Amino acid sequence: MTQTESAYSEMVERVRQGRLLAACMGLLSWDERTYMPRAGGPLRGEQMALLAKLYHERLADPRLGELLDQLADAPLGELEQACVREVRRVHHRAVKIPKRLVEELARTTTLAQGVWVEARAKSDYSLFLPHLQTIVRLKREEAQAVGYDQSPYDALLDEYEPGATVAQLQPIFTALADALVPLIAAIANSTVRPDRSIIERDYPVDRQRFFAESAAAALGFRFDAGRLDVSVHPFCSGLGPGDCRLTTRYHPRRFNDGFFGMLHEVGHGLYEQNLDPQHFGTPLGEAVSLGIHESQSRLWENQVGRSEPFWRHFFPRARQAFPEALAEVGHEAFYLAINEVTPSFIRVEADEATYNLHIILRFELEQALLADQLQPADLPLAWNERFQQLLGLSPPDDARGCLQDIHWSSGGLGYFPTYTLGNLYAAQFMAQARRDLPGLDEAFARGDFAPLRQWLTQSIHRHGSRYRPDELCRRVTGQPLDSSIFVTYLRDKLAPLYRL
């Protein structure tokens, strides 16, 4: 074995050991949000703090830095160069962040997530406020430690979407809002009114769960290598090859909550289950970014799951599963009901047209929090005022306002923009898939989702982090990210529905 091969092999082994620690943390986090007793929070916080410290020590280990230096100019293949590039990025970030801060963040956010569940249930922001104040302080400290050129937000955003900056995203988001607002207004003025009652009838939870699991399996989610449970906020934990945990939440009188939450998480799960297992533990076996990850969830949830051909296959099965609710409902009325466009309070329940306005709100507020231009104590008022400006609604309580998402309790400042990036990537990937796979809609109508799943696996999943998001987009679609493709998709879909 040459010196270069030895150095690369040692680097890979060290990174894999760190990834195993991360998988242990992921399992504890999944358990915390699904089955852990409420009183177990303090102990779980200590467990997470210890594992976070050990994981950070692995990433920041000087020996890993020495190996990366040895490999800097070594003659490596393309895959090995990509792996070294991404390990170097993660290592350099870890070196900058103090071990004490890593432990404190893990301990604080573990406790905060439990408090957030209670605060949301009681719609009592005062319960969560002290924890958010601490989290914002710690994330400001993290941004300063990592460093940035223009905005502290850039330092946090880079963790989820490598290379992305506020300066890059702001014009994309502004142009998107400018295009969406008149479309939403035109729909509001349409004489077409979906029958909302169709999806707000009695949908027994046990049947919802059976229907959701059946649909997940039909899309290709492997239950021998994963599971679907219930949590307050839906999520996906890809722990590694053979173990991917999904959750959704069911409401006995709201069909959309459980089913489309499931589709969203299945999109994440298919990405995790179709990463190349031989590269587990290295960047080549991990998703390239949260924006690309969200593209997969939003693609299956909306581009596929809210499409007319999808329901040509699944609506007869839905009527069988829920005969009392759907016996007298026609396919067209149901399809219109699940594609209703109207401003609403809850992001995860928002329609495709208004959804990104929810993200823009959070994008703005997070920047203000990090820049010390907005104090956590003033967040509910700032949220409600901006929500009124963007969506024309005033949240009646904090549970339907600033307490609705789990992300801030877990320290995920900088995460939200990846949802909008995911919507944009999803539309662009799906447009390319339709060009590459003639007859895709007919396949959906037959219940055949394998062609799209296989195309996504070969085009996106199996590459892991071989390419950065922008390069991956160019390779798959032949052009850089273009928000107009998403806007065109929405107009083409919604104009006939609402007779615009």
pLDDT digits (tens, 9 = 90+) for 36-63: 998 999 999 999 999 999 999 999 999 9
Average of per-residue pLDDT across 242-266 = 97
Question: In sequence order, what are the residues at sequence separation of 6 or more whose Cβ sits closer than 8 angstroms to the Cβ of residue 230?
Answer: 34, 247, 248, 249, 250
Say what the pLDDT of residue 472 is: 98
pLDDT in tens, 262-292: 999 999 999 999 999 999 999 999 999 999 9
Q: Does residue 403 have a pLDDT over 90?
A: yes
Q: Tell me if residue 246 falls in helix, strand or coil.
A: strand
Kindly state the percentage of the chain with pLDDT values over 70.
100
> How many angstroms separate the CA atoms of 139 and 157, rounded?
11
Residue with tokens 């990537």: 425
What is the pLDDT averaged over residues 327-353? 96
pLDDT, residue 1, reads 82
223 phi, psi to nearest 5 deg: -80, -10
* Whether the Cβ atoms of residue 332 and residue 477 lie closer than 8 Å to each other: no
Lowest mean pLDDT among 19-23, 124-128, 194-198, 348-352: 348-352
Give the DSSP letter string of 140-161.
HHHHHHH--SS-HHHHHHHHHS
Burial readout 74-107 (b: 16 or more C-beta within 10 A, e: otherwise): eeeeeebebbbebbbbbbebbeebeeeebbbbbb
Give the model confidence (pLDDT) of 76-91 as tens digits: 999 999 999 999 999 9
Give the other-Cβ count within 10 Å of 386's Cβ.
17
- The three-state secondary structure class of 413 is coil
- Is 265 one of the annotated active-site residues of the chain? yes
Joined tokens for residue 405: 């998402």
What is residue 225's DSSP assignment?
A: S
Considering the chain, tell me which residue range(s) the CATH 1.10.1370.30 domain(s) occupy: 166-498
User: What DSSP character marks residue 303?
Assistant: I
Q: What is the pLDDT of residues 137-157, one digit of tens each?
A: 999 999 999 999 999 999 999
Confidence tier at 377 by pLDDT (50, 70, 90): very high
Query: What is the pLDDT at residue 253?
Result: 97
Integer CA distances (angstroms), 494 to 26, 108, 180, 196, in order: 39, 44, 12, 16
H runs (alpha helix) in 299-436: 308-321, 323-326, 331-338, 355-370, 379-391, 417-436
pTM above 0.85?
Answer: yes
Residues 6 or more apart from 28 whose CB is under 8 A from it?
Answer: 44, 47, 48, 51
Choosing from 265, 294, 301, 340, the catalytic residue is 265
Q: What are phi and psi for residue 255, nearest 5 degrees?
A: -65, -40
Euclidean distance between CA atoms 335 and 350, whole angstroms = 16
pLDDT for 176:
95
Beta-bridge partner residues of 229 = 247
Average pLDDT, the chain: 96
Q: Sign of dihedral through CA atoms 290, 295, 300, 302?
A: positive
Q: Which helix (H) or strand (E) holds 51?
A: helix 41-60
Q: Out of 3.40.50.1820, 3.60.21.10, 3.40.50.970, 1.10.1370.30, which CATH number does the structure's domain 166-498 have?
A: 1.10.1370.30
Q: In 3D, which of 463, 68, 404 has the Cα closest to residue 249? A: 404
Strand arrangement of the beta sheet that strand 226-230 belongs to = 226-230, 243-248, 236-240
- Sequence-ordered strand ranges (E) for 216-316: 226-230, 236-240, 243-248
Q: Which residues of 443-471 are buried (b: 16+ CB within 10 A; e: fewer)?
A: bbbeeebeebbebbbebbbebbbbbbbbe
